[in-house]
C-alpha cells in the first residue's frame, strides 16, 4: 500500500492535526516498553507528569530508555561546546546533558566541559565516546585507557554514558573487546551506561546494538529529512516508520533503549533556497519540535554557541509542533530534500570507486549548513586521496540507489571544490 505522501501530510497539517495525533489516530505509532524507574534518580519520576517525563520550570526532562537518567529535552553538543557564559546560562535554564568525545578539539572539548562543571558535576549528565578502530591490537585495554583519559580531562570519576563513537559496522558493536571494555569500566564504577553513535549505516549498526541487549542508548542522526523517501520521483513521508531510522527508533523504544537525536538541524539554510517558504515560523524551532514529537526520542543535542540560539532553541521544550510549523517544515523538506544526505549508507556498496559518499556529504553539510568549515576540511582531508570525490567517475550508480534522490555527484564535486 502506498504511504501517505507530503501532499497528504500537508492536508493533515491543514486539518489542524499534529503529527503525533496523526500517528495515534492511525494506530501506527510504535508502542514502547514502560520499564519501571530504578536507581538513585527514580524519585524524580514520581514528582512529574509521568514515569517517563518530568517538568521543572521551563524545561521538560525525559527518561533515557530503561536507564534512571532524566535528560533535558534539549542537550548541548560538544563539538565544540558552547562558550563558558552560554554554557552556564544553559545550566541555569535547566539543561543537564552534554555530549562530547575524546577526539573533539583534540580533547579540549572534554577539558572545557570539565572546567565548567567543576562543583556541579552531580547535577549534570555527561556522555563521551571512545574509538574502537584505534586499538585493534589490544583493543580492550586501549579503549579503557582512552576512557580513563576522558575521565581525567572531564575532571570526574565517572561517566554517565560512554559510547562507541561513529560506528559503521555491526561487527564493532558486537565485538568482544568492545563489550569487555564496557563491562570492566562499568564494574569499576567508571561508567554508568553504554551507548553507540553512528553516522553511517544506522539500520544495520543500531539494530544490532539494540537487539544484542548490551547497549543502553543510541545517538543517531534524526531530523525532519529522516522519514522521507522517493517513490516514482515523488517525495513520500514514512509515517508508518517501516523503513530507515524511523524503524530503528521504534525498535529502540520497544526494547527500552534510549535515543538521543543528533544532526537535528540538518538542511540548507533557508536563505539559500530559491523557494519562498513563508514567514513567521522559526525553522530551528520547527526542526527541534519535529524530532521531539517522536516519543522514542529522549533528547536532542544541538550546538548553541550564542545566547540567542540558546534562547530560541530552549523555548521549544514541552511545546508541540503546530500545524503551521509542520506545514512550513514539510515545504522546506520538499525544497531541500535533494541536497541533504540522510547518512543511510544505501549507496555505499554500489560505488565502484569505494568513495565514502555519506562521509563526504557530511563534510559538505558541516561547511555549507553549519559554517564549520575547519571541521569539514579536517574531516575531508582525513579521507585517503583516492577515495575523496576526486575518485568519482560520475558513473551515476549511487544516484540510482539513493532512496532520497540526493544529487550526489553534484554535491561530491562541490565538497571537493571547497574542502580539498
Ligand atoms: S557517481 Fe561517483 S560516487 Fe557515485 S557510484 Fe559512481 S563513482 Fe561512486
Ligand atoms: S547519498 Fe542517499 S543513499 Fe547515500 S547515504 Fe546519503 S541519503 Fe543515503
- pLDDT tens sequence for the chain (420 residues): 333 334 444 344 444 444 444 333 433 232 223 233 333 333 344 444 567 899 999 999 999 999 999 999 999 999 899 999 999 999 999 999 999 999 999 999 999 999 999 999 988 999 999 988 754 567 899 999 999 999 999 999 999 999 999 888 888 999 999 999 999 999 999 999 999 999 888 889 999 999 999 999 999 999 998 877 666 666 677 666 666 888 899 999 999 999 999 999 988 877 777 777 777 899 999 999 999 999 999 999 999 999 999 999 999 999 999 999 999 998 898 888 889 998 888 899 999 999 999 999 999 999 998 888 998 999 999 999 999 999 999 999 999 999 888 999 999 999 999 999
- If 0-12 CB within 10 Å is exposed, 13-18 middle and 19+ buried, where does residue 310 land? buried
For residue 183, give the C-alpha cell.
563491562
Phi, psi of 247 (to 5 degrees): -70, -40
Atom of ligand 2 nearest to the CA of 408: 1
Give the model's pLDDT for residue 369. 87
Q: What is the dihedral of CA 308, 313, 318, 323, to 10 degrees?
A: 110
**Distance between CA atoms of 14 and 329, rounded to whole angstroms?**
13
Contact (Cβ atoms closer than 8 angstroms) between residue 272 and residue 83 = no
The domain limits of the chain are: 6-335, 345-419
For residue 37, give the C-alpha cell.
524507574
Residues in the chain: 420
Contact (Cβ atoms closer than 8 angstroms) between residue 134 and residue 162 = no
Beta strands 97-99; 125-130: pairing state: parallel
For residue 107, give the C-alpha cell.
580533547
- If 0-12 CB within 10 Å is exposed, 13-18 middle and 19+ buried, where does residue 131 land? middle
Atom of ligand 2 nearest to the CA of 346: 3
CA of 405 to the centre of ligand 2 (A): 8
Q: How many CB atoms lie within 10 A of CB 134?
A: 13
Q: What is the dihedral of CA 213, 216, 220, 226, to 10 degrees?
A: 70
CA of 372 to the centre of ligand 1 (A): 25
CA of 355 to the centre of ligand 2 (A): 12
CA of 180 to the centre of ligand 2 (A): 33
Ligand 2 pocket (Cβ < 6 Å) reads 341-347, 357-358, 361, 402, 404, 406, 408
**Distance between CA atoms of 139 and 132, rounded to whole angstroms?**
7
Contact (Cβ atoms closer than 8 angstroms) between residue 343 and residue 263 = yes
**Distance between CA atoms of 76 and 301, rounded to whole angstroms?**
5
Atom of ligand 2 nearest to the CA of 402: 3
Ligand 1, atom 2, residue with closest C-alpha: 392
The pTM (predicted TM-score) of the whole model is 0.83
Q: Which of 390, 393, 414, 416 to mutate to test the pocket of ligand 1 (most atoms within 8 A of CB)?
A: 393
Ligand 2, atom 8, residue with closest C-alpha: 344
Residue in the structure block whose three cell numbers are 537525536: 261
CA of 389 to the centre of ligand 1 (A): 9
N-term to C-term CA, the chain:
45
Q: Which of 404, 405, 409, 410 to mutate to test the pocket of ligand 2 (most atoms within 8 A of CB)?
A: 404
Contact (Cβ atoms closer than 8 angstroms) between residue 109 and residue 80 = yes
Ligand 1, atom 6, residue with closest C-alpha: 395
Q: Which of 398, 405, 409 to mutate to test the pocket of ligand 1 (most atoms within 8 A of CB)?
A: 398
Atom of ligand 1 nearest to the CA of 412: 3
- If 0-12 CB within 10 Å is exposed, 13-18 middle and 19+ buried, where does residue 64 land? buried
Give the model's pLDDT for residue 39. 34
CA of 220 to the centre of ligand 2 (A): 15
Contact (Cβ atoms closer than 8 angstroms) between residue 90 and residue 304 = yes
Give the model's pLDDT for residue 364. 95
Ligand 1 pocket (Cβ < 6 Å) reads 350-353, 355, 357, 392-398, 408-409, 412
**Distance between CA atoms of 400 and 397, rounded to whole angstroms?**
5
Beta strands in 73-215 (DSSP E): 74-77, 97-99, 125-130, 159-164, 191-198
Ligand 1, atom 8, residue with closest C-alpha: 351
**Helix (H/G/I), strand (E/B), else coil: 9:** helix
**Distance between CA atoms of 353 and 56, rounded to whole angstroms?**
52
For residue 261, give the C-alpha cell.
537525536
Beta strands 70-72; 299-302: pairing state: unpaired
Atom of ligand 1 nearest to the CA of 350: 5
**Cα-based distances in Å from 377 to 362, 368, 417:** 11, 12, 11
DSSP classification of residue 33 = P
CATH of 6-335, one of 3.20.20.100, 3.40.228.10, 3.30.70.260, 3.40.50.720: 3.20.20.100
H or E stretch at 63: strand 59-63
Amino acid at each position: 500500500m502506498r504511504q501517505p505522501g507530503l501532499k497528504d501530510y500537508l492536508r493533515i497539517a491543514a486539518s489542524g492535526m499534529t503529527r503525533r495525533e496523526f500517528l495515534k489516530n492511525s494506530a501506527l505509532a510504535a508502542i514502547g516498553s514502560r520499564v519501571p524507574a530504578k536507581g538513585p534518580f527514580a524519585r524524580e519520576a514520581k514528582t512529574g507528569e509521568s514515569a517517563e517525563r518530568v517538568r521543572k520550570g521551563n524545561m521538560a526532562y525525559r527518561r533515557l530508555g530503561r536507564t534512571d537518567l532524566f535528560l533535558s529535552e534539549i542537550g548541548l553538543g560538544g563539538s565544540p561546546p558552547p562558550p563558558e557564559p552560554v554554557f552556564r546560562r544553559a545550566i541555569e535554564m535547566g539543561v543537564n546533558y552534554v555530549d562530547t568525545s575524546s577526539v573533539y578539539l583534540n580533547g579540549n572539548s572534554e577539558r572545557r566541559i570539565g572546567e565548567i562543571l567543576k562543583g556541579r558535576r552531580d547535577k549534570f549528565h555527561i556522555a563521551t565516546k571512545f574509538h574502537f578502530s584505534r586499538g585493534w591490537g589490544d583493543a580492550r585495554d586501549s579503549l579503557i585507557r582512552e576512557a580513563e583519559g576522558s575521565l581525567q580531562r572531564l575532571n570526574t570519576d565517572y561517566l554517565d554514558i560512554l559510547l562507541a563513537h561513529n560506528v559503521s559496522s555491526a561487527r564493532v558493536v558486537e565485538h568482544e573487546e568492545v563489550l569487555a571494555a564496557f563491562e570492566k569500566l562499568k564494574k569499576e564504577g567508571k561508567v554508568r551506561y553504554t551507548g553507540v553513535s553512528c553516522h553511517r549505516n544506522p539500520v544495520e549498526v543500531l539494530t544490532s546494538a539494540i537487539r544484542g541487549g548490551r547497549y543502553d542508548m543510541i545517538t543517531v542522526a534524526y531530523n525532519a529529512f529522516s522519514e522521507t523517501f522517493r517513490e516514482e520521483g515523488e517525495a513520500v513521508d514514512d509515517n508508518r516508520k517501516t523503513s530507515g531510522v524511523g524503524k530503528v527508533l521504534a525498535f529502540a523504544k520497544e526494547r527500552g533503549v534510549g535515543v538521543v537525536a543528533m544532526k537535528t538541524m540538518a538542511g540548507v539554510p533557508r536563505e539559500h533556497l530559491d523557494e519562498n517558504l513563508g514567514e513567521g515560523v522559526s525553522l530551528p524551532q520547527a526542526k527541534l519540535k519535529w524530532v521531539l514529537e517522536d516519543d522514542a526520542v529522549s533528547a536532542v543535542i544541538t550546538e548553541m554557541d550564542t545566547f540567542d540560539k540558546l534562547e530560541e532553541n530552549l523555548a521549544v521544550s514541552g511545546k508541540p509542533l503546530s500545524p503551521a510549523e509542520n506545514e512550513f517544515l514539510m515545504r522546506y523538506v520538499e525544497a531541500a530534500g535533494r541536497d541533504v544526505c540522510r547518512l543511510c549508507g544505501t549507496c555505499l556498496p554500489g560505488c565502484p570507486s569505494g568513495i565514502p559518499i555519506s562521509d563526504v556529504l557530511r563534510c559538505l553539510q558541516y561547511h555549507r549548513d553549519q559554517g564549520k568549515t575547519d571541521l569539514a576540511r579536517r574531516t575531508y582531508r582525513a579521507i585517503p586521496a583516492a577515495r575523496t570525490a576526486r575518485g568519482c567517475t560520475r558513473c551515476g550508480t549511487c544516484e540510482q540507489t539513493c532512496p532520497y534522490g540526493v544529487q550526489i555527484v553534484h554535491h561530491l564535486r562541490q565538497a571537493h571544490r571547497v574542502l580539498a
